[in-house]
Amino acid sequence: WIWNVCKMGDCVKTKRFLMQNFLLRHRFAVTFFAGICIGTGYANIAYRYQAALPEIYNQHYLSAYADITMNYYALWKYIIRYRFRDLLLIGMMGLTAFRRYLITVYIVYLGICAGMLVSTSVMYYGLAGIGLYLASVVPQYILYGTALYFLYQMFYVHHLTGKNVLMIAAIAVILVGAGTYTEAYCNPLILKKLYGYLY
């Protein structure tokens, strides 16, 4: 079909159609990746002109995981408040007429943060910094990202029944709840072992 259209002189239109279709099908990933590019660009410009950059991955930050005894339950309660606040914010976005635009801006913001953190980590540790960043977001951000993906897709589906909306919301709450637990109890142990490996 594509070949026949191209023979008719409509190659440009066909390519434009395929690109638009790809962007629509993968809009979540494309939106997040765009944010990463912006965040990475900003971090590199800031580093070049010696502007302030996040110091979350410096040696002092990591050494805290090895030197202090953590109250995991208190940390979990703090993370629950923080993460469910974001989930409530997303839910409020979904009630507005501009929900698609708002959630898109929110995902771009998350991508910008991720891009800045990855770049900062690489500045401190070279290519090993990519592994450090991944270790700092595993496994909780897999769960958070899945919840966000379901909510994001829900905003683009027309005529969802109330039952489907409640089901997606319940899944998102469960995923975020599981993510807070892993962030409080699992991720600090991963970073503690990683600090021992690096230093």
Q: Express each pLDDT in 110-154 by its tens digit.
A: 999 999 999 888 888 888 888 889 988 999 999 999 999 999 988
pLDDT tens figures, 155-170 = 887 777 788 889 999 9
The tokens for 174 are 């469960």
d(CA 90, CA 83): 11
Task: Output the pTM of the full model.
Answer: 0.84
Quickly state the pLDDT bin for 5 (edges 50, 70, 90).
very low
Counting every residue written for the chain, the total comes to 199
d(CA 143, CA 79): 14
pLDDT tens figures, 52-88 = 666 666 666 666 666 677 889 999 999 999 999 999 9
Looking at the chain, the whole-number percentage of residues with pLDDT higher than 70 is 77
